[in-house]
Amino acid sequence: MAGNSGSPPILEKARQVVGLMGDLPVEASSAPAGFILFARLLKIPPEELGYEPENVFQLDFAGDFWFGKMDCGDGCRAFFHEAPDTVSAGKLFQQLLEEQRGEYDPVESGSDAALLRHQFLGTLFGLRLRGRWVFGVEEATNRAKAMETLSRIDQALITRETEATGETQDKTEAAPEL
């Protein structure tokens, strides 16, 4: 089948191909960490994933982020960034937190986690830091669902760490308290 239109048969075939490709085994080194996190570990369909190479959140310093639709409210997206090292991740976490405070008020925060509420829209922006990874949710409408989403991502990252190192880790390790 060939075509370049948005007709229903073409769209259906494209969805089938994407679904089949998403089910293929992926070697850790061959796929981006964000894709592995969202598609394989969190089971988000590939068509609900996105990648933004630059200007993420309309910020010049933020790039190389993966996004996935998760159950944290209408319009809510989870996001993920893998930094080259923990220092770079910490710096990005602090920059994002500082920039978001221009439009968001702190709800709760800690040294490696924050939950902010938009001053006008009332939506939530959650941000966490785990080693080389910065992740969170944007445009969440429900605090409990936002926190549950952050915990799911955190647990998936613990699973990824365990798989990558081959070490057994306590999967019940507590996520940062907010």
Residue 44 sits in which domain range?
A: 34-165
Whether 139 is in a domain gets the answer: yes
Whether 124 is in a domain gets the answer: yes
Judged against a pLDDT cut of 90, whether residue 162 lies above it is answered with: no
Whether 172 is in a domain gets the answer: no
CATH code at position 67? 3.40.1000
Mean pLDDT of 78-100: 96
Domain count, the chain: 1
pLDDT digits (tens, 9 = 90+) for 63-83: 999 999 988 777 899 999 999
Q: Which of 122, 100, 113 is nearest to 147 (CA)?
A: 113
Whether 56 is in a domain gets the answer: yes
The 104-109 sheet, strands edge to edge: 49-52, 65-69, 77-82, 133-140, 124-130, 113-118, 104-109
